[in-house]
Chains A and B, each alone.
Chain A
Amino acid sequence: MKGGFEMTGWKALLYKEVLRFWKVGFQTVGAPILTAVLYMLIFGHVLQDQVKVYGSVSYTAFLVPGLVMMSVLQNAFANSSSSLIQSKLMGNLVFLLLTPLSHWHWFVAYVGSSVVRGLAVGAGVFVVTVFFGQPGFVAPVWIVVFAVLAASLLGALGLIAGLWAEKFDQMAVFQNFIIMPMTFLSGVFYSIHSLPPTWQIVSHLNPFFYMIDGFRYGFFGVSDVSPWLSLGIVASALLVTSAVALHLLKIGYKIRH
């Protein structure tokens, strides 16, 4: 690193957070890509001829954006949450607590690094799964908008979880009992139109559904609900989550006593 480190303020923290996950890239980027490939191999092979989606779209092509977005969500959450809980438990968060960085700086850096990791893993998943089924690129702007908004939302949610959790066990509860079910029940593997009416209603209450549905719209130009509705709901959820995360950072929730 000698030769003039030029990052300052929140950019230094963003750099540190990106460098942190990059140094363990096999675990933080490689592993989730491999997991997505396994999902594609198993679900794509088993369900390819069983499930019909949006008329002419093949199931494997339908699955690609779903798997990409699932990876974006889970990894964006994992980045901010695991970094914070590790720093809290190991005690090295003190290096950050002693700095003049404001709660805004923390928020931008932690959420920003979550977006970077979410998009890096998402891009990797896309590159390897696209060989199984090629989705179109009907509206690329929607793809980018939903990917960034969803990664930001889960990054902010991870920040809240990282601040709240006092041990790894509590973090596992958050991840396995909230994030994982909401992701799996959001339409990654199916169109909600294939569900019974009651479950369709339940799915509409899940904000993760709108992230995946809007993202998928960018590829196929069709979706279960209007992309504008999805955009409104995802943006609103991001605003609320960000406001909560910023407030907790400002009062030093569970980090300044």
Chain B
Amino acid sequence: MAVQALDRVSFDIEQGEFFGLLGPNGAGKTSLISILAGLSRASSGRVLVHGSDVVADYALTRRQLGVVPQELVFDPFFTVREALCIQSGYFGIKHNDDWIDELLSSLGLADKAQANMRQLSGGMKRRVLVAQALVHKPPVIVLDEPTAGVDVELRQTLWQFIAKLNRQGSTVLLTTHYLEEAEALCSRIAMLKQGRMVALASTSDLLQSASSNVLRFKVDSELPAALASQARVTGRIVQFPAHNALEIEQYLAAVRQAGLTAQDVEIRKADLEDVFLEVMSGKVAGAVVPAEVPA
């Protein structure tokens, strides 16, 4: 039986926007990007890029798109520069050396230009994937989990470069599981769950929609199940959404009654991860603008 990867998902991304597409594994993010990029075909509906249909006008729309695939793939026959020159050629671009040099330099690949793809580390291969996606200067950049499993240095290099392109007018569509990256970079965010859109709003509206504060502390042993189900637990760290002082006192009292001691207690502002967890658990706050779903 075929699995329905996406169900009545509909939204627009403004030109020049830095847009985040979030969701747990299997939510349909990569399926959506695959349809946008022409790697998959939707059973119904359509996707437009700058007003052109990605199926009917595929040659036009693919020139507008620069897609960084999620899988770490490479062609083992070629050097980095050869791969980039050939990719330029596919898009009809001759004499692209200046832009290729800029890409190599901006992504920290300048000294690897003549290296064979097989000789590169995973992080370097990821950089080449980004360079290949940008080699034809696409006005729309699609990044499908570009920082999955890569080190801090590459993340910073990549985000500085992508942010610069965004400032220069490029539209960016990003999927990531690193929610702090999405919070820092994206002006608007959509959330998918099991193929359906469950939230679509500006990042600031999403943050305001969540519980305004989070009570955070450490415990030295396991929380009772009833209490743990209300919290975000990461090892010894426990975080409760807290709307007011009474709720904070109630949580701390419950912890004491369970015979536990709360240490390093702090109250912080809710972040995107808190919002994400609330949305995924179905507790969509009022300020979140739900996706426009056709009847």
Contacts and interface: CB of A to CB of B under 8 A. Distances in A.
Interface size class of B (residues with CB under 8 A): 35 or more
Interface stretch (B59-67, B180-188, B286-294): B59-67
Interface string B27-44: 000000010011111000
A78 to B, nearest CB: 15
A51 B60 CA distance: 61
Contact of B77 (A4, A15, A20, A95): A20
Interface string B65-104: 1010101011111110111011111111111110000000
B132 A95 contact: yes
Interface residues of A, number: 34
Interface stretch (A97-105, A156-164, A225-233, A234-242): A97-105
A72 B75 CA distance: 26
B217 interface: no
A5 B87 CA distance: 10
B73 A256 contact: no
Contacts, number: 107
A140 interface: no
Contacts of A252: 41
Contacts of A102: 59
Nearest to B66: A98
Given A98-B67, A99-B62, A19 B82 contact: yes
A58 B254 CA distance: 101
A98 to B, nearest CB: 5
A91 B59 contact: no
A256 B39 contact: yes
Interface string A1-38: 11111111101110110011001100000000000000
Nearest to A109: B90
Contact of A11 (B67, B89, B97): B89
A248 B34 CA distance: 19
Given A1-B81, A90-B76, A257-B39, A16 B86 contact: yes
B251 interface: no
A189 to B, nearest CB: 35
B97 A8 contact: no
A99 B90 CA distance: 6
Given A5-B95, A20-B77, A92-B75, A257 B89 contact: no
Interface string A193-227: 00000000000000000000000000000000000
A100 B59 contact: yes
A217 B23 CA distance: 66
A169 B82 CA distance: 30
A20 B88 CA distance: 17
Interface centre among A12, A13, A256, by most B CB within 10 Å?
A: A12
A2 B98 CA distance: 10
A127 interface: no
A96 interface: yes
A13 B74 CA distance: 16
Contacts of A101: 90
B86 A98 contact: no
Given A12-B86, A94-B69, A100 B91 contact: yes
Contacts of A6: 94-95
Interface string B89-123: 11111111100000000000000010000000000
A7 B69 CA distance: 25
Contacts of A257: 34, 39-41
Given A98-B62, A256-B40, A257-B39, A9 B96 contact: no
A8 B89 contact: yes
B69 to A, nearest CB: 5
Contacts of B90: 8-9, 12-13, 95-96, 99-101
Given A5-B94, A11-B89, A23 B77 contact: yes
Contacts of A2: 81, 97, 113
A249 to B, nearest CB: 13
Interface of A: 1-9, 11-13, 15-16, 19-20, 23-24, 87, 90-92, 94-102, 252, 256-257
17 contacts: A2-B97, A5-B97, A8-B92, A8-B93, A12-B89, A16-B89, A23-B78, A90-B73, A95-B73, A97-B39, A98-B62, A98-B67, A98-B133, A99-B62, A99-B87, A257-B34, A257-B39
* 7 closest Cβ pairs, A-B complex: A12-B89, A91-B73, A5-B85, A100-B59, A99-B90, A100-B62, A92-B75
